[in-house]
Structure 1
């Protein structure tokens, strides 16, 4: 069964502010590891004025990358190599609103090839309290899903085009999400596919207290490390985010992550049980 409607009916709205200064952000949300939605925070960014599907489709992108098809975090991993520029042109020209093709350009590190795009965004509130970050963009049609998971680093996500629905849950519900053994770089996954919920296998999942997030163009969400979240695009969408590491993360977490990914690529760790290789 699709449990999402029930979750949305029971969920509470996330803490939302319309204005926030850096001192308040650091004291009340970053230090306390509390998520917050900042309404309209990105509307002053150049990205909000410039970025659309035409903008990205017209960039001289040469990349061929594997893109996710469907919910690869909580189901079987399906990936397909596509030409990024042709994909962007397809989203631009057709919208893919009614298409069954839910291929998703996820965590695309476009800033590495086009560093000038960093001038279009402003993640300085998070950058001021962290030591390193990895910015990315997310582009896809209506209906794309990022399954339930928890990142092991802090995340600030800005919605630029289109709308997304998110639900988030505190780390205290870790046992009730039924953590998966599936390997995903930088994240812990849930076994539960919210849109195909099996109550017999995951009976305690319904006890989780979710918060609802309605991301509209210009909104920015701070989602602290270890908070569980699920994302579904309500419209064709362009988002940008940064994954940020503290000094502690750099000294302890990142070396462990790199060891795991190195072992995985050599077939010594979670072979054929991952989100980076098609099943």
Structure 2
């Protein structure tokens, strides 16, 4: 009976999304979706990786042509006459101000970012974690690691390659990664779940259970603990992540070091040269948020910036564009991603109905879900394994260094 109710909910969801799409998505976007689907089917059946392709050119299966054509037209004409404006600080709440009403007000019902300084400073991960602790406790765990092969000052989603510490597995041990960071190498562990899927100790040290009483939010209640996927970020100075956005909300723990974050509201997506991923789970851009060049379009639109320090907490909403640059000798952070309940309180769809539309109607998205779902496994186990495997599979097809 319960299974039937789940299927009924999914059917209602599909019907609702179609209706919403017709109401809120204009004709151009509908045409784009048709083009996206055709292009997806053609490229999936005909595309072959070339030796010289690298990860950046792998994006051919991510429909760059159509997204560029339909969503980024006339950007320069629209921005040329606008003056440069200063960025604004990301809104902050103090620990004393953490009431449900204040959180919903400052985040506009969880659709805007906000920071709570020192919120997690007493958590085990903040007290214990550093490079030496990682080497001793988790040093033998192998994870994918990125190394910047360009002259840019920080690693990019679309131009980084897998650092080949082991010729057979394309993996680095956490011990090797920590050693590389100490030597000043631009190595970066980015969005990797494996530490938390294989080590219950590491997962427990995040103290996610404490967030329920601290945040006064139902996100962290016992019955919803299974909806989180945690991902590790570990890197040296000047590593980071280029401009991107994703379909789920992120309760980010800044555990060690200082990170420079930049945010752009989803409503400015039309001036960002970007593309969605194959499954519609995220979107990426080659645009450099932190560039001081006069040609940087983001200097002319509203944007947020902030420095996160050890013990700080950041709420990163769904589909909000953001870029990150690491400022200290090393940084450790964890993204605790809430794998959304479409009928729950998290507004993952509303920030970008168009991108959500592409995800929910991506054939690859449902094939992945159908092949990976296991009612006996946690969200961390299911999604963490999928994401890590996808990163490794994509990068192993390009030339590793």
TM-score by length of 2: 0.55
Residues 1:84 and 2:84 are matched in the alignment: no
Please give the secondary structure, in 2, of the residue aligned with 1:119: helix
Query: Would you say the 8 A contact 1:176–1:207 is kept in 2?
Result: no
Residues 1:55 and 2:138 are matched in the alignment: no
**Alignment match, 2:56:** none
**Alignment match, 1:215:** 308
Aligned equivalents of 2:288 and 2:278: distance in 1?
Answer: 16
Unaligned runs of 5+ in 2: 1-83, 149-154, 164-169, 345-355, 370-393
Aligned equivalents of 1:227 and 1:103: distance in 2?
Answer: 26
1:242 to 336, 357, 377: 336
Shift in CA distance, 246/46, structure 1 to aligned 2, threshold 3 Å: same
Aligned length: 253
2:121 to 43, 47, 53: 43
**Alignment match, 2:46:** none
Cα offset, 1:275, TM superposition? 6.6
Superposed, 1:1-279 pairs within 5 Å as: 10-19=86-95, 20-21=97-98, 23-24=100-101, 27-28=104-105, 29=107, 31-70=109-148, 71-73=155-157, 75-80=158-163, 81-91=170-180, 95-96=182-183, 99=184, 101-109=185-193, 110-121=195-206, 122=208, 123-124=211-212, 125=215, 126-128=219-221, 132-180=227-275, 183=278, 186-194=281-289, 204-235=297-328, 236-248=330-342, 256=362, 258-259=365-366, 277-278=397-398
Query: Would you say the 8 A contact 1:79–1:277 is kept in 2?
Result: no
Please give the secondary structure, in 2, of the residue aligned with 1:24: helix
Aligned equivalents of 1:64 and 1:224: distance in 2?
Answer: 30
Aligned equivalents of 1:184 and 1:9: distance in 2?
Answer: 35
Aligned equivalents of 1:107 and 1:21: distance in 2?
Answer: 28
Alignment RMSD: 3.4
TM-score by length of 1: 0.77
Query: Would you say the 8 A contact 2:276–2:282 is kept in 1?
Result: no
Unaligned runs of 5+ in 1: 1-7, 263-273
Question: Max radius of gyration: which structure?
Answer: 2
Shift in CA distance, 168/194, structure 1 to aligned 2, threshold 3 Å: closer
- Residue by residue, what CA displacement relative to the aligned partner does 1:132-154 show, whole Å, maximum 9, x if unpaired? 12112211111102000011100
Moved more, 61-70 or 156-165: 61-70
Higher strand residue share: 1
| More relative contact order, 1 or 2 (CA 8 Å, 6+ apart) | 1
Please give the secondary structure, in 2, of the residue aligned with 1:217: coil
- Residue by residue, what CA displacement relative to the aligned partner does 1:179-219 show, whole Å, maximum 9, x if unpaired? 2356587311123134668877xx74443311011101110
